A and B are shown apart, each in its own frame.
Chain A
């Protein structure tokens, strides 16, 4: 298995090496095209058309380089600012946008060095395995032609059949070396490309800021809506009940001597009313932060929830630590929403929840054997959940083909807090 893996990686690297060389050569006409656009700007405004076109091509080319780098474990983010809505792709506005954008010039600066490095590394990537292959295939050729001008490796020229045979192991070694080295060369190429094609620290921060602005606005909206809901629930529910409770008790107090029978009836009513108020508060609390979540953490809370679902649900969790409270709560409500959707819509007879914490990423999977067809774009529940997770840089993906099964996968980055043993009072 492992042998096959490095051979496959090596071959893949050689193939991408070849592709990279072809693409690297393309950099030269792109460079010329861009310079032409710059030079022709004063002439009839031709640059206003040429430069945006050249830039679009260069960006396409740079995106290819970014994607290739991603294959070799060097992700390069796109540094470009999005085109403002309703703006034209060519003309003065586009020209100004392009010229004032730093990424344009970094791409431009990359074109030639990128081509040189890409070609050079590509040649090494190809040459090593090619030379190895030659060694492997040389012997029959040498026998056939019988020429003494052939040489290989340490034997130069090859003078006997014995030396001819020696080219075989040498060739195998060099071929292996070439395949082992090729992925590293690709990685090196990718790292070089990242120097200029990746966003600068400033651009990275700008992208992050625009993303945070959106998620913060969503989080603030959601929080405000939540507070409004709680306020309304308290006002119409528990508060009103407690007020009436006070009145009933007051009335009973008045009547206790004159009409003890009625007073007793009022007191019984008051007790019932207090019990109703408590029930309402309990439901409200469960919606804000379920007590079992505070007591047992995500793992226990999900287990407790699974026990009360109509559809048998198994919970498989390896969480050994308590998470940060906000993360725990977001994760719980996300899982709860998935399960609620499942109970309402899926027609499933069985469901499962899996919780894993690896490398400070909480991975949650909720699946069922129902008829599928869940669409996050349609249901407000799933979309809201996605927004809530986004506030924690979390992501959600739904796989729900028609006919099922449905699998929702959510990931939340989280630094775990105290180990769980700290939370149970030493009794277990």
Chain B
């Protein structure tokens, strides 16, 4: 699997490269500044890109902007965005093109190597992975997403974190069948038409962010 990495800190850049190479990813380009991210992505069209939000020269959110711009050019180009902090606002912007293949994680999560690599693979496969902190901050506000039951909200939160039905079942101590029933209820209640499963999951998460 071909990966492009954009990260300005040398230590983190080497760390990411090393981890991904150890798990048989092919790191085809490593970028250390904002302006080169978009051209590199468009030229290389990697299977997945791992991008830091904040990059030189302005140290604002050029990584995120590049990810959104690249996906406007190459719809669904899988990007995993890493940051020292997560904002539901950024998550919403990343998801707003309503396609899968998006990840948004705290940099801390990289230290859990197995999970991180799993997330990269899910994103590359068109899945959606939101950092638990995004989900937690949305749960914190405790706004009722009126139509959903408490359990359905829980399941939606797990879905936002990018977990599979099996994983959700394991975490909530219910059967996989119950999980898929909840998920179907969520889709129906949020008015999401039957379509390819992954895309519907993104839309459900987006509804959650917008509630």
Do they bind each other? Answer: yes
Question: Which positions 61-97 of chain B face chain A at CB distance < 8 Å?
Answer: 61-62, 65-66, 68-69, 83-85, 87-90, 92
| Interface residue B59 (Cβ < 8 Å from any Cβ of A) | yes
User: Within the assembled complex, what's the spacing in Å between the Cα atoms of A285 and B85?
Assistant: 9
Most interface-central of B57, B68, B89, B111 (chain A CB within 10 A) = B89
For residue B61, which residue of chain A has the nearest CB?
A295
Which of chain A's residues have a CB closer than 8 A to the CB of B209? 307
Is B88 a contact partner of A291 (Cβ separation < 8 A)?
no
Is B66 a contact partner of A425 (Cβ separation < 8 A)?
yes
Is B88 a contact partner of A308 (Cβ separation < 8 A)?
yes
User: Within the assembled complex, what's the spacing in Å between the Cα atoms of A423 and B55?
Assistant: 12
| Interface residue B38 (Cβ < 8 Å from any Cβ of A) | yes
For residue A294, which residue of chain B has the nearest CB?
B60
For residue A303, which residue of chain B has the nearest CB?
B89
User: Within the assembled complex, what's the spacing in Å between the Cα atoms of A424 and B53?
Assistant: 12
| Interface residue A292 (Cβ < 8 Å from any Cβ of B) | yes
Supposing A427-B66, A428-B65 touch, asked if A296 and B60 sit within 8 A by C-beta, the answer is yes
User: Within the assembled complex, what's the spacing in Å between the Cα atoms of A312 and B142?
Assistant: 11
For this complex, into which size category does the number of interface residues on chain A fall? 20 to 34
Supposing A275-B108, A425-B65, A427-B66 touch, asked if A292 and B85 sit within 8 A by C-beta, the answer is yes
In-complex Cβ contact of A425 among B62, B106, B141 (8 A): B62
Query: What mask results when residues 100 to 129 of chain B are scored 1 for a CB within 8 Å of chain A, else 0?
Result: 000000111001100000000000000000
Is A271 a contact partner of B111 (Cβ separation < 8 A)?
yes
Which of chain B's residues have a CB closer than 8 A to the CB of A296? 60-61
Query: What mask results when residues 309 to 353 of chain A are scored 1 for a CB within 8 Å of chain B, else 0?
Result: 111100000000000000000000000000000000000000000
Is A423 a contact partner of B111 (Cβ separation < 8 A)?
no
In-complex Cβ contact of B85 among A291, A308, A423, A424 (8 A): A291
Supposing A308-B137, A308-B140 touch, asked if A292 and B35 sit within 8 A by C-beta, the answer is no
Query: What mask results when residues 138 to 179 of chain B are scored 1 for a CB within 8 Å of chain A, else 0?
Result: 101111000000000000000000000000000000000000
User: Within the assembled complex, what's the spacing in Å between the Cα atoms of A300 and B65?
Assistant: 14
| Interface residue B54 (Cβ < 8 Å from any Cβ of A) | yes
In-complex Cβ contact of A308 among B34, B61, B84, B138 (8 A): B138
Is B111 a contact partner of A300 (Cβ separation < 8 A)?
no
The 3 closest A-B pairs by CB, nearest first: A304-B89, A425-B62, A295-B61
Other A-B contacts than A295-B61, A308-B88, 19 sampled, CB-CB below 8 A, are A271-B111, A274-B108, A278-B108, A282-B84, A291-B85, A292-B87, A294-B60, A295-B54, A296-B60, A304-B89, A304-B90, A307-B209, A309-B141, A310-B143, A424-B61, A424-B62, A425-B35, A425-B65, A427-B65
17 sample A-B contacts, Cβ–Cβ < 8 Å, listed by A number: A274-B108, A278-B106, A282-B85, A285-B84, A285-B85, A291-B85, A294-B59, A294-B60, A295-B53, A295-B60, A296-B60, A304-B90, A307-B89, A423-B60, A425-B66, A427-B38, A427-B66
Report B's interface with A, CB cutoff 8 A. Answer: 34-35, 38, 53-54, 57-62, 65-66, 68-69, 83-85, 87-90, 92, 106-108, 111-112, 137-138, 140-143, 209
